[in-house]
Amino acid sequence: MTGPCTFCGIIAGEIPAEIVYSDEHAVAFLDISQATHGHTLVVPREHCRDLTDIGPDRAGLLMRGAVHTAALLRRALEPGGMNIWHATGATAWQSVFHFHLHLLPRYDPEDLRRAWTHRELPLSSLSPLADRIRTAAAH
Report d(CA 99, CA 2) in Å as an integer: 16
Helix boundaries (H) for 12-138: 51-54, 56-77, 127-137
Which residue did the predictor score with more confidence, 136 or 26?
26
Q: What is the pLDDT at residue 129? A: 87
Q: What is the pLDDT at residue 92? A: 81
Q: What is the pLDDT of residues 83-120, one digit of tens each?
A: 999 999 888 888 989 999 999 999 998 888 777 677 88
**Helix, strand or coil, per DSSP, at residue 105:** strand
| pTM of the predicted protein model | 0.88
Q: What is the third-level CATH fold of 6-137?
A: HIT family, subunit A (3.30.428)
Q: What is the pLDDT at residue 2? A: 46
Q: What is the pLDDT at residue 3? A: 57
List the catalytic residue out of 86, 100, 102, 139. Answer: 100
pLDDT higher than threshold 70 for residue 123: yes
Q: What is the pLDDT at residue 122? A: 87
CA angle 53, 54, 57 (to 5 degrees): 140
Question: Cβ–Cβ contacts within 10 Å for residue 28, how many?
Answer: 26
Q: What is the pLDDT at residue 110? A: 85
Is 100 catalytic? The answer is yes
Question: Cβ–Cβ contacts within 10 Å for residue 119, how many?
Answer: 5
Q: What is the pLDDT of residues 1-54, one digit of tens each?
A: 345 899 999 999 999 999 999 999 999 999 999 999 999 999 999 999 999 999
